[in-house]
A and B are shown apart, each in its own frame.
Chain A
Amino acid sequence: MADEDETKEYRWESGYEKTWEAIKEDDDGLLESNVADLVARAKRKRAALKATGAIQLGMMRHLFVVVDASACMFLQDLKPTRFLCVLKLLEVFVHEFFDLNPISQLGILTTKMKRSEQITVLAGNQKKHIEALQQLKDLSCEGEPSLQNSLERAMNGLKNMPAHSSREILVLFGSLTTCDPGDIQKTIKALKDNNIRVSIIGLAAEVRICREIAKKTGGTYNVLIDDHHLKELILSQVQPPAVAGSIEASLVKMGFPGGTPSVNDGTSDSSADHAPAYCLCHIDSETSSLMGPNGYNCPQCGSRYCELPVECKQCGLTLVSAPHLARSYHHLFPIKPFIERAQVPNTTHCFACAKLFVEAETNVYECENCHQIVCLDCDLFIRETLHTCPGCASDPVTAQMKTN
C-alpha cells in the first residue's frame, strides 16, 4: 500500500474539478464582470479576516514550530511532497515572522518515530532558523508522530519565558494519528496552566484531538484545502495574537545599540565601541571572523553583534533598533476596515492611486474617518502593507487627532 502511494498521482486519478460551475454568465452573457467579482471577493475576504482589531496584542512572542516528520509526510498530495512543501513555506513564514515580530523568538522541533527532536532552540536569529530548515530537507520521514512528546518538549522550552511575553506553539500536523506515551489530557491541562497557546494546521483531515488541544489552549485549528490555502494558513500565524487577559503588563528593559561610527547618535561615543571585535553571533561557528567597525554593541556590556534584533549573549539584554519597534507598533492600532460601497457617483478616481474608476469596478471603499474613497487594490495595499490610511495622514485634522 505504501508503494502505491509513493507513485506519482496522475491527473486522471484525482476527481473531476468542475471549474466551470463556479463561473456564471452575467445578463449580457459575458463572464468578465463575474470573474472580476470573484477575484475581488476572495481578496477582500482575506483582508477582512486580518482586520479584526484586537485590543492588546502580544508583541513579544515566543513560538515553537513543531513539524511533523512522520511517514505520512512523504505523501504527494502537496507538491513535491508534503514535507518539502511545508519546509519551503516555513522559510517564508520565518522570514515574515521576524519581519513583523522583530522582538520575538522562535524555535523549531520535529516529531517522528514517536519521538520529538529539537532542531533549533528558541532564538531571535532568523538566518539560523532558515539554515536549519534547509538542512531538514534531507531528513527521512518515518514512523508515527507524537503530539504529546513534542508539546511537552516545547512546553519545557516555553515555561520559563517571562510572563509578559506570549507563549505559543504552532504544529504542522500531517498525520491522522498520534502515538503518545501517556495521557495527553494532562499535557493539555499543563499547557493551559502555563498559558501556552497551541495552534495546529492539519494537512489531511480534521483530527479531533487537535481540535480539542487548540480549543482548550485558545489557539486555532485549521485544515488546508490545497497548497495556496496552506500558505495562507501558515502566514496567518505571523500576526501576533490577542493577549489572553491574564498576562500582566510590564516594563521590558531593552537596549538600543548605536549604529556605524559615522552616525553619532550619542548612545555610543567611546572609540572602543568601534574597535575591531569578534561578533558574538558567530563566535561558536568556524566562520567567525574579526569584525570591522561595523556592528552593534550592547549598551550594557559592550558585546558586538552583527545583526539586530538579538538577545545579548553576555547580559541577556534584548537589543533592538527603533525601526523594529515601530514596525510592530502598527499591530496595536490596526486601521479600521474600510466600508464597502457601491460606486459613488461624485468621485471619479481613487484617492490613493488616482486611478479612474471604470465600469467593471463594482465596489469602492471608504475610510470611516476621512471619508476618502479608494479602489480595491489600494484598500488591500493599505491593509496589508501600509498600515495607515493616506487620507487620514494627509488631512491635518485627523492626523492631529491620531497623534494625540
Chain B
Amino acid sequence: MKLNVDGLLVYFPYDYIYPEQFSYMLELKRALDAKGHCLLEMPSGTGKTTTLLSLIVAYMKAHPLDLTKLVYCSRTVPEIEKVMEELRKLMNYYEKEMGMEQNILGLALSSRKNLCIHPSVSKEREGKVVDGRCYSLTASFVRARHAADDAVPICEFYEGFDAHGKEFPLPPGVYNLDDLKEYGQTKRWCPYFLARHTITHANIVVYSYHYLLDPKIAEVVSKEISKSSVVVFDEAHNIDNVCIDSMSVKITKRLLDKCSNSITILETTISNMKENDSKRLEKEYKRLVEGLRDATIARETDMALVNPVLPSEILEEAVPGTIRTAEHFVAFLKRVVEYIKTRLRVQHVVQESPAGFLRDIHTKVCIDRKPLRFTAERLASLIRTLEISDLTDFSPLVTVSHFATLVSTYTKGFTIIIEPFEDRAPTVSNPILYFSCLDSSIAIKPVFNRFQTVVITSGTLSPLDMYPKILDFHPVIMTSFTMTLARPCILPMIVSKGNDQVAMSSRYETREDTAVIRNYGNLLVEVAAAVPDGIVCFFTSYLYLETIVSSWYDQGIIDQLQRHKLLFIETQDAAETSLALINYIKACDNGRGAVLLSVARGKVSEGIDFDHHLGRAVLMFGIPYVYTQSRILRARLEYLRDQFQIRENDFLTFDAMRHAAQCLGRCMRGKTDYGIMVLADKRFSRADKRSKLPKWIQEHLKDTNCNLSTEECVQICKRWLRQMAQPFSREDQLGISLLTLEQLQSEEMQKKIQQRAQGV
C-alpha cells in the first residue's frame, strides 16, 4: 500500500500495516529530516526491517541529494539474508506499482568464506583459512610472480574481475550472497571483490557490524562510504560490547610461543632473501623512509594485515629509523615478544594503564613509544616484501603487533590486566594478558562523526537513556514503541517464592541453598506439566547451570521432568549445542515436548528464535548479572563511573536486565505468536529492575503478577493457555493491531498514532 508519512510517499509492500510501524516511520523520518542520530526500540516480530527499508528507500527516492546510501548492519549471515529478502519484496512492489525497473542497487557483503567460488578454496571450512588461501592466490606479488612464471597458481575469478569487472558496474537490483555467487559464476568474476568494489556505488549495503565498527576492517571495506549516508544498526542492544571487543586484545602464553616460531621463520626468510634478492629489501627501506602513504595504494587484496587504529596521522610520518631495516625490525619484534613473556611470568594479578606499560617497556628493554606505534604497519609491509603467501601461521604475531600499536596509541580508555591463573583453577598456571578497551565510544565515534544519520534499533534497548551515555553521542530522537495487540499474547510473571514460601533468588548468598534449588526445580517441573511443546530456561551462567542440574539430579527433579518433556542442555561446545537444538526442535515438532536449559549471554539467548510452539514459555532463573568478580569488568565499571558518571550498580542492573529482556523476547516473534515469560527471582519485582524491562513487556506485567508462588504461577498459566488456544484469525486483529490503508487513514487512528508518538 502507499502511505503518506508526514508528507512523504512511502511504498509499503504489504496490504496491512501495524500501527506501531507507522509511528516508527514517523519518528524515523523526523530523524532523517534533522540529519541526526536516533535510538528506536520496537518489539521483535513487528516488522522492524521492512519498516526501516521502506521508509529509507522512499526517502532516498524523494531526496536523492540529501541521502545517497543506506548501510544496514546486522549481526549474523541469516539475519543479513532476511534483510535482503525484505528488500527484494520491497523492490518487487516498487516495480509492480511504478511499472518499470528501479534504479536501485542493493547488495549484501560477507566474508570470503561465504562468498568464495574458487573450486578448492571454497571447500575450506574455517574463515581464517579461506582468507589465507585467498591471499596466497590474489596478493599483488603472487600475481606479479605469476606473470613471470605460469606455474604459480592464481585465482582465475579474481583475474577475471580485475580484468573486466571494474569497468562494468553491477546492474541495478537486489543481490544477496547467493545471487552474487551466481552472478560471479556466470561472469567468472570473484563475487567477494566484486561486492567490495560495488559498495562504493551501491545504494543499499547490508553487512555485518564489524565492517563498520572494527577499525581493522572498516578502514579497508568502508572507507569510501560518503557522509550523506544513513547507517542502521539492527539488533543493536549489544553494540557497546561489539565496540569493546573489536578494540581489545588477549594474549596467552601459547600465542607468544607461536609468535617466536613465526619470528624464526621471518628471520630465515630475510637471510635467504638477503643472499638472493637484497635489492628488494633495499627498496622497501627506501619506501619506508618516504612514508607509508603510497604503500597502501593499489593493494586492496592485501587486506589481511592492516593497522588497527585509524592511521591517518601515522601515514603522514616516516617510519622511525630503528625499525626500518628488516633485521632490526625482527629483532625489535623479538624483544617485544620476550618482554611480554617476562611480564606473563607473574604470580599475582597485575593491572596497569597503557602509560605505565609503556614506561616499563622503556626502562626494561629500551623500546620507545614511537616505533611501537608503527609495529602493525611495519609488520604488514615486511610480510608483503618477503612475499610470504601463507598468512594463517602469522596471525599470532599479527595479534601482538596490533597490541603494540594499540597500547602505544591510546592512553585513555584502556587497561592492561595480567592474570597468572584463572579464578576457577587457582593452582593451574595459565597466564593471560588482557588489553581491554573500557570505553565503547572509541570504536563507534568515527561512525557517529562521519555519517549524518545513525539509527540504533532493537527489540530490547531499555532503558534508552543508557545508550547515549555509554556510546557518548546525542540522539535527536529516542523512542520506545509498544506492541498493539488484539489479545494479551505475552504473559510476564515474577515468581518470587516456592510453594513452601522460601524466597527464590540467585543471589550469591542463597545460590547454594538446597531449598532455593529445589524450588527452582519444582517450578520447572510444574510449568513443564502445564505448558505444551517447547520450554526454554535461562540460567545466569554455565557454572550455575551445572551446579543446579547436578543437584536436581540428586533431588530426583530431572526424573520428574523427563516424565513430561525431553531435556536438552546448552554447553560451551558449539557443535554439541547445535545438535541439542536440532533435537529440541524435533521433539517440539512431533509433539513430545522439550525443555532446553541454556545460559543468558550464550549462543541460544542471542541468535536463536523460539517462535510459536518452539517457545511457549521462557523461564529466567535468577538475574543474569555479569560475573562481577572479573577484573576487566571492574576496570570498566570504574572507568564508566569516572568518565560518564554512571554508577556501578546502575550499569550492572542495566546490563543484566537487557540480557534478561533478550532472553524473554526469544519466545515472542510476531503477533500471532504467544508465550509465557517467567522471571524467577525475588529481586525482579523491585522497582529498579522492573522499570528497566522494555516497555512492551512492562505493559503486560500486572501488579498482581509480580509476587507469585509456584502454585499461583501454574494456575495462571493454565488458564491463560486455554484462552490463547481459542481460535484467532486475522479478522480479530484487523482494526486493532493490524490496519488496512483505509483504517490507517481514518481520523481516529491518526489521532491515536499522534498521541502515541507524543506520549513517549
Query: Which residues of A come within 8 Å of B, CB atoms?
Result: 1, 4-5, 13-16, 71-72, 77, 144, 147, 176-180, 183-185, 202, 204-210, 222-225
Q: Mark B523-534, 1 if CB is under 8 A from A, else 0.
A: 001100111110
CB-based contact B532/A205 at 8 Å: yes
Inter-chain contact total with CB atoms closer than 8 Å:
90
B590, A180: Cβ atoms closer than 8 Å: yes
User: Beyond A178-B592, A179-B592, A224-B722, is A207–B532 a contact (Cβ under 8 Å)?
Assistant: yes
Report the minimal beta-carbon distance from B528 to chain A, rounded to whole angstroms: 9
B147 on interface, CB distance cutoff 8 Å: no
| Interchain CB contact under 8 A, A205 and B531 | yes
Residues of chain B within 8 A of A176, CB atoms compared: 529-533, 564, 593
The answer to whether A15 touches B719 (Cβ under 8 A) is yes
Which chain A positions have C-beta within 8 A of B592?
A: 177-180
Which A residue sits closest to B704, measured CB to CB?
Answer: A16
> Would you call B724 and A206 a contact (CB within 8 A)?
yes
Answer yes or no: B718 CB below 8 A from chain A CBs: yes
Is there contact, CB below 8 Å, between B560 and A1?
yes
From A1, A15, A185, give the contact of B590 (CB < 8 A).
A185
Whole-angstrom distance between the alpha carbons of A177 and B587 in the complex?
10
Please determine whether A77 and B718 come into contact, CB atoms closer than 8 angstroms. Answer: yes
User: Which A residues are in CB contact (< 8 Å) with B334?
Assistant: none
Chain A residues with CB under 8 A of B726? 223, 225
User: Nearest chain A CB to B56's CB is how many angstroms away?
Assistant: 37
Nearest Cβ in chain A — how far from B88, in angstroms? 29
Shortest distance in angstroms between A148's beta carbon and chain B's nearest beta carbon? 9
Tell yes or no: B365 within 8 A of A by CB: no
Chosen A-B contacts, 9 in total, with CB atoms closer than 8 Å, are A16-B704, A71-B563, A177-B565, A178-B590, A178-B591, A183-B590, A208-B532, A208-B613, A210-B591
Q: SS class of chain A's interface: helix, strand, loop or mixed?
A: loop
Q: A77 to B722, alpha carbons, bound, how many Å?
A: 12
Residue pair A208, B612 in contact (C-beta under 8 Å): yes
- Which A residues are in CB contact (< 8 Å) with B718? 77, 204-205
Q: Which of B699-738 contact A (CB under 8 A)?
A: 704, 711-712, 715-716, 718-719, 721-727
Task: Give Cα A16 to B724, complex, Å.
Answer: 18
- Binary interface profile of B, 401-433, with partner A (CB < 8 Å = 1, else 0)? 000000000000000000000000000000000
> How many interface residues does B have (CB within 8 Å)?
36
* B499 close to chain A: CB less than 8 A: yes
Q: Which of B532, B563, B591, B613 lies in contact with A204, CB distance below 8 A?
A: B532
Residue B679 lies at the interface, judged by CB distance under 8 Å to chain A: no
**Residue from B525, B613, B723 in contact with A225 in the complex, judged by beta carbons closer than 8 Å:** B723
Q: How far is the CB of A296 from chain B (nearest CB, A)?
A: 44
Check B294 for interface membership: any CB of A closer than 8 A.
no
Closest B residue by C-beta to A213: B591
How long is the Cα–Cα vector from A179 to B565 in the complex, in angstroms? 10
Known: A72-B529, A205-B722, A206-B725. A15 touches B715 (CB 8 A): yes
- Residues of B within 8 Å of A178, CB to CB, are 590-592
Residue from A177, A180, A225 within 8 A of B722 (CB atoms): A225
Q: Is B589's CB under 8 angstroms from A209's CB?
A: yes
In the assembled complex, the CB of A13 is this many whole angstroms from the nearest CB of chain B, namely: 6
Q: Check A177/B564 contact, CB under 8 A, given A205-B530, A207-B533.
A: yes
Contact: B591 with A177, CB < 8 Å?
A: yes
A84 to B719 CA separation, bound complex (whole angstroms): 21
State how many angstroms separate the Cβ of B507 from the closest Cβ of chain A: 25
Interface positions of B from 577 to 611, Cβ below 8 Å from A: 588-593
Q: How distant is the Cα of A144 from the Cα of B526 in the complex, in angstroms?
A: 16
CB-based contact B589/A208 at 8 Å: yes
**CB–CB B722/A4 < 8 A:** no
Distance of A225 from chain B, by nearest CB (Å): 5
How far apart are A72's CB and chain B's nearest CB, in angstroms?
7
- When distances are taken between beta carbons in the complex, the residues of chain A under 8 Å from B589 are 208-209
Interface check B522, CB cutoff 8 A: yes
CB contacts (< 8 Å) of A5 on chain B: these are 529
Residue-wise, chain B 180-221 has the 8 Å CB interface mask toward A (1 for contact) of: 000000000000000000000000000000000000000000
CA distance A25 to B617 in the complex (A): 38
Find chain B residues with CB under 8 A from A209 CB: 589-591
B715 touches A1 (CB 8 A): no
Q: Within the assembled complex, what's the spacing in Å between the Cα atoms of A372 and B711?
A: 56
Instruction: State the CA gap A195–B613 with chains docked (Å).
Output: 27
CA distance A14 to B564 in the complex (A): 23
Chain A proximity of B145: nearest CB distance (Å): 57
Min CB distance A382 to B, Å, is: 27
The reply to whether A207 and B721 contact each other, CB–CB distance below 8 Å, is no
**Inter-chain contact A184/B591, CB cutoff 8 Å:** yes
| 10 tightest Cβ-Cβ pairs between the two chains A and B | A209-B591, A223-B725, A208-B613, A205-B721, A206-B725, A176-B532, A207-B532, A178-B591, A177-B593, A205-B532
